[in-house]
Chain A
């Protein structure tokens, strides 16, 4: 056994060297039209060697290490706690959530502009992740082209405002409904497909939308994108220094306060907050409705669900459409926040980030997804020097989560009713 382990460990270490040394140890540098090769610095090479040694030692003492880890787990796990009574838990949860929302309402008035801007972005990601959570987490349909619906929402607002002068508040429902319509039209033929085919088809669809946006230059401006998207207004009050549109008044003049650029940022943040809370509440309702139960039933066992009389297409289509609807919402807010959109913002990587948020948070769990969205968006900002490693870490985290904790960091807790014991 020991000899076998040793051979295996040596082999693994050798493979580690093979897959890391050629790529990391030699750097290609383009000088004009010629390409030259430069050896990496000693720290990189030492790092590669260290990695090989670590792999060797781990594989050699694998059984002992895994045994220790198992012991640790059983020590820390302790006794399973008696779960809190359902009604008490629900009450505490709703109080805590209300507190957080109230805190979030007043928080931006004491923060810097950059922080509020970042918080708006976090809220947009929360909306997207909650929407995708319906599709992937609840209905179990892996949608890799989710960003397409986000793009539909954003471009709807941008185009409507550019060609027809439509304001944010009119464009918001139109964008969301149009995205939902896209979801319906795409979903109808596609949802008959099996899980992994569905993933590829949605990925292809996302790419098609992006390529069309990029090449339909007369309508969308192609790679140059669309600029000058108006900010949202509050009952006809604009947040700029000067009023752009006739008939509108400006916010700071109406209230007789000094002009400040922060008003607009805070207003956008508040809109995003309200919409995110709305998204969360609506989806929470759906989860308790028959259709929400049907999503989960179909995810768990399609054949059993169908034999109980659920229509596969209708159930899947409803999840797909609702997910697309909220992506359209988020897209409209995004377009208004940026003031400029281009196909660059809607690449596959964006879909992958949203998927990573859902997977890390725990598929199906709303609180988990919200926390993951906050973490995934804010952590790279806090650790700027590591920001280029962001996607590397995402990828690794997705693999590790699937291997060790596929239910996510905060797995979904099933809402259930227990029968009272008879006295």
Chain B
């Protein structure tokens, strides 16, 4: 019984982290699916989302607003607006001018952008980590007193529900809306979509904006869950999310969701049963193994190299 409780605790923790990884991973996978580049600065956009949310929460608190749902919704909207503007601007400044050149060039440009954004926030807000107020307290506990107790906090439930809403909304958007249809067309064949009268530049911008908005949601959720933010906060999370995207098959949206969950669970199992220090080693090791043995990921399509 004890072991089962401990196991399910790790499972819940893993699923919580994993679902936020999935939110970030969608940004990577959508951009890769459409223009075939790794948006290295995506982790930084997520970090900026977390910072904006924290600024909005602190600002509202100093104005005397105490009603929790209002605070959360305002913070979420602010973070999404600022992050998506950032995503739009990054694509416009750093990626559009180099689109279609040799593969390394957009990648180096993206790394430069990532370093730039990290230091932009570092200079503006300082390098120390800043505490994120725990707005959602409490939770359920299972198990008897004196022994191991499994806990499921309201925060974790909030994360599950928010992620679920975002994923459903995104799936509906991609499947049903006009822009979503255009997105799918562009990811299948950019040149052909262009010929058929789709404004591909606008669709690419839209992809960056959607990815950034989802990253901002993840920023708010993870900021509250971990309880602090710092300018380097985005780098590792970005790598993890990229791993999740590759694991599920880069370019595939359901793959990103699945990959995020698998990665989160395997990480929390490592820290639960081995050691917390090695959880990053496990996720990078997983990434390397997948790329070596199944580069298309779990749900990805094999890429045919055309001459």
Interface residues, chain A, CB within 8 Å of chain B? Answer: 15-16, 18-19, 22-24, 26-28, 30, 33, 35-37, 136, 140, 142, 144, 189-190, 192-197, 199-201, 203-205, 207-208, 211-212, 214-215, 303, 348-349, 352, 355-356, 359, 388-389, 391-392, 394-399, 401-403, 406
Q: Does B285 contact A (CB under 8 A)?
A: yes
Asked if A23 and B125 make an inter-chain contact with CB atoms under 8 angstroms apart, the answer reads yes
Q: Does B239 contact A (CB under 8 A)?
A: yes
Q: Does B242 contact A (CB under 8 A)?
A: yes
Asked if B38 and A204 make an inter-chain contact with CB atoms under 8 angstroms apart, the answer reads no
Q: How far is the CA of A194 from the CA of B38 in the complex (A)?
A: 12
Partner of A19, one of B86, B115, B116, B235: B86
Q: Does B85 contact A (CB under 8 A)?
A: yes
- Using CB atoms, name the residue of chain A closest to B242: A200
Q: Apart from A35-B58, A35-B133, A389-B119, what are 10 other A-B pairs with CB-CB below 8 Å?
A: A23-B124, A35-B130, A189-B292, A200-B239, A207-B239, A303-B305, A392-B119, A392-B123, A395-B118, A406-B105
Asked if B295 and A19 make an inter-chain contact with CB atoms under 8 angstroms apart, the answer reads no
Q: Which of B2-10, B16-24, B274-282 contacts A (4 or more CB under 8 A)?
A: B274-282
Asked if B284 and A204 make an inter-chain contact with CB atoms under 8 angstroms apart, the answer reads yes
The secondary structure that dominates the A interface is helix
- Using CB atoms, name the residue of chain A closest to B85: A18
Contacts of A356 in B (CB 8 A): 112
With A28-B58, A30-B131 known as contacts, the answer to whether A193 contacts B109 (CB < 8 A) is no
Chain B: minimal CB distance from A59 (Å): 11
With A395-B114, A402-B98 known as contacts, the answer to whether A211 contacts B85 (CB < 8 A) is no
Q: Does B237 contact A (CB under 8 A)?
A: no
Asked if B109 and A403 make an inter-chain contact with CB atoms under 8 angstroms apart, the answer reads yes
Q: How far is the CA of A287 from the CA of B123 in the complex (A)?
A: 42
Partner of B291, one of A197, A214, A215: A197
With A35-B58, A403-B94 known as contacts, the answer to whether A28 contacts B125 (CB < 8 A) is yes
Contacts of A195 in B (CB 8 A): 103-104, 107
Chain B: minimal CB distance from A33 (Å): 6
- Using CB atoms, name the residue of chain A closest to B306: A303
Asked if A15 and B111 make an inter-chain contact with CB atoms under 8 angstroms apart, the answer reads no
Contacts of A37 in B (CB 8 A): 55, 58-59, 62
- Using CB atoms, name the residue of chain B closest to A21: B82
Q: How many residues of B contact A (CB 8 A)?
A: 68
Asked if B58 and A36 make an inter-chain contact with CB atoms under 8 angstroms apart, the answer reads yes
Task: Annotate B84-121 by CB proximity to A: 1 below 8 A, 0 otherwise.
Answer: 01101100011001100111111111011111111111
Asked if A388 and B54 make an inter-chain contact with CB atoms under 8 angstroms apart, the answer reads no
Asked if A207 and B85 make an inter-chain contact with CB atoms under 8 angstroms apart, the answer reads no
- Using CB atoms, name the residue of chain B closest to A397: B112
Asked if B115 and A395 make an inter-chain contact with CB atoms under 8 angstroms apart, the answer reads yes
With A201-B288, A204-B284, A403-B94 known as contacts, the answer to whether A26 contacts B120 (CB < 8 A) is no
Q: Does B52 contact A (CB under 8 A)?
A: yes
Asked if A211 and B280 make an inter-chain contact with CB atoms under 8 angstroms apart, the answer reads yes
Asked if B125 and A196 make an inter-chain contact with CB atoms under 8 angstroms apart, the answer reads no
Q: Does B307 contact A (CB under 8 A)?
A: yes
- Using CB atoms, name the residue of chain B closest to A16: B89
5 tightest A-B contacts by CB?
Answer: A398-B112, A395-B116, A395-B115, A204-B284, A402-B109
Asked if A27 and B115 make an inter-chain contact with CB atoms under 8 angstroms apart, the answer reads no
Q: 17 A-B residue contacts at CB 8 Å?
A: A15-B88, A19-B85, A22-B82, A24-B124, A30-B128, A142-B107, A195-B103, A196-B37, A200-B38, A200-B287, A208-B285, A215-B278, A388-B123, A392-B123, A395-B117, A395-B119, A402-B109
Asked if A359 and B115 make an inter-chain contact with CB atoms under 8 angstroms apart, the answer reads no
Q: Does B174 contact A (CB under 8 A)?
A: no
- Most A CB within 10 A of own CB, among B81, B89, B124, B307: B124
Task: Annotate B64-93 by CB proximity to A: 1 below 8 A, 0 otherwise.
Answer: 000000000000001001100110110001
Contacts of A199 in B (CB 8 A): 38, 107
Asked if A212 and B112 make an inter-chain contact with CB atoms under 8 angstroms apart, the answer reads no
Contacts of B52 in A (CB 8 A): 22-23
Q: Does B51 contact A (CB under 8 A)?
A: yes
Task: Annotate B172-186 by CB proximity to A: 1 below 8 A, 0 otherwise.
Answer: 000000000000000
With A211-B281, A212-B281 known as contacts, the answer to whether A23 contacts B51 (CB < 8 A) is yes
Partner of B113, one of A196, A399, A401: A399
Contacts of B112 in A (CB 8 A): 356, 394-399, 401-402
Partner of A204, one of B102, B105, B119, B239: B239
Q: How far is the CA of A197 from the CA of B28 in the complex (A)?
A: 13
Contacts of B113 in A (CB 8 A): 395, 399
Q: How far is the CA of A355 from the CA of B108 in the complex (A)?
A: 9
Asked if A389 and B115 make an inter-chain contact with CB atoms under 8 angstroms apart, the answer reads no
- Using CB atoms, name the residue of chain A closest to B275: A215
Q: How far is the CA of A172 from the CA of B58 in the complex (A)?
A: 54
Asked if A196 and B133 make an inter-chain contact with CB atoms under 8 angstroms apart, the answer reads no
Q: How far is the CA of A27 from the CA of B275 in the complex (A)?
A: 36
Asked if B104 and A26 make an inter-chain contact with CB atoms under 8 angstroms apart, the answer reads no
Q: Does B262 contact A (CB under 8 A)?
A: no
Task: Annotate B212-235 by CB proximity to A: 1 below 8 A, 0 otherwise.
Answer: 000000000000000000000001
Q: How far is the CA of A311 from the CA of B267 in the complex (A)?
A: 38
Asked if A399 and B109 make an inter-chain contact with CB atoms under 8 angstroms apart, the answer reads yes
- Most B CB within 10 A of own CB, among A18, A19, A207, A398: A19
